[in-house]
Amino acid sequence: MALREMREPTYFVLASLLDGPLHGYAIIKRAAELSGGRVKMATGTLYTALDRLSSEGYVRLVSEEIVNGRARRSYGLTEAGQDVLRAEAARMERAASVVTSSARRGRPAATVPAARPA
């Protein structure tokens, strides 16, 4: 179980695989969709992340097929990957609740006056 905070691209790469294995381009598209367009991964960055996540046991190579004469690999989430993703989601939920529960109680947010321009 990861104790460190997970970076946003890593979170969305893992989340993109929740519904089943995907190939590289589909992971990039799905991560962008899920993040509302915030996570736009370059291909080299994606494969660096996949290498790291594979070595940590969170992602595994599921299949390899030939498409247009070229090997295309699909990657899937391992059980450990699902666990770490859920743990991160719970951590963020707890962090968010600090703010949302305060708002529910009707307490006004403390604000700092904007700096006056010189």
Partner 1 sequence: MTGLERRYRWLLRAYPSWYRRDCGEDMLGTLLDREPGGGWPAPSEALALVTGGLRVRSSLNRRLSMTAGLRLAALFGLALAATVRAGHLLGVDLVFVLHPLAARCGLAVKRAMDTLPAPGGDIWGEDDNPRRYDAYAREYPGYRQTSRDLIALALPSAESGAADAAVLDLACGTGVTTREILPVLGPHSQVTGVDQSAAMLEVAARSTTDPRATWVQARAENVDQHMTGPVDAVICNSAIWQTNVAATAIAVRAVLQTRGRFAFNVPAGFLDDGATHRSRDRYPALFSEMRAIAARDYGWAPDNRAPGRTRQRLTRESIRGSLSAAGFDVEQVTEVSYQASTESERAWLSIPIFTRDQLSGLPYEQRMRVLGKACEHLGPSQTQPQQWVVFIARATDRR
Binding site for partner 1 (CB under 8 A): 3-4, 23-25, 28, 42-48, 51-52, 54-57, 60-61, 64, 67-68, 70-73, 78, 80
Q: Which is nearer to partner 1, 48 or 102 (CB)?
A: 48
- Least separation, in Å, of the C-beta of 50 and partner 1? 9
| φ and ψ at residue 112, rounded to 5 degrees | -115, 130
**Other Cβ atoms closer than 10 A to 60:** 16
Q: Which is nearer to partner 1, 67 or 109 (CB)?
A: 67
d(CA 78, CA 49): 15
d(CA 118, CA 106): 35
Q: Which is nearer to partner 1, 71 or 115 (CB)?
A: 71
Q: Which is nearer to partner 1, 38 or 97 (CB)?
A: 38
What DSSP state is assigned to residue 71? E
| φ and ψ at residue 75, rounded to 5 degrees | -115, 145
- Least separation, in Å, of the C-beta of 87 and partner 1? 15
**Own/partner long-range contacts of 65-68 (Cβ < 8 Å, ≥24 apart):** none
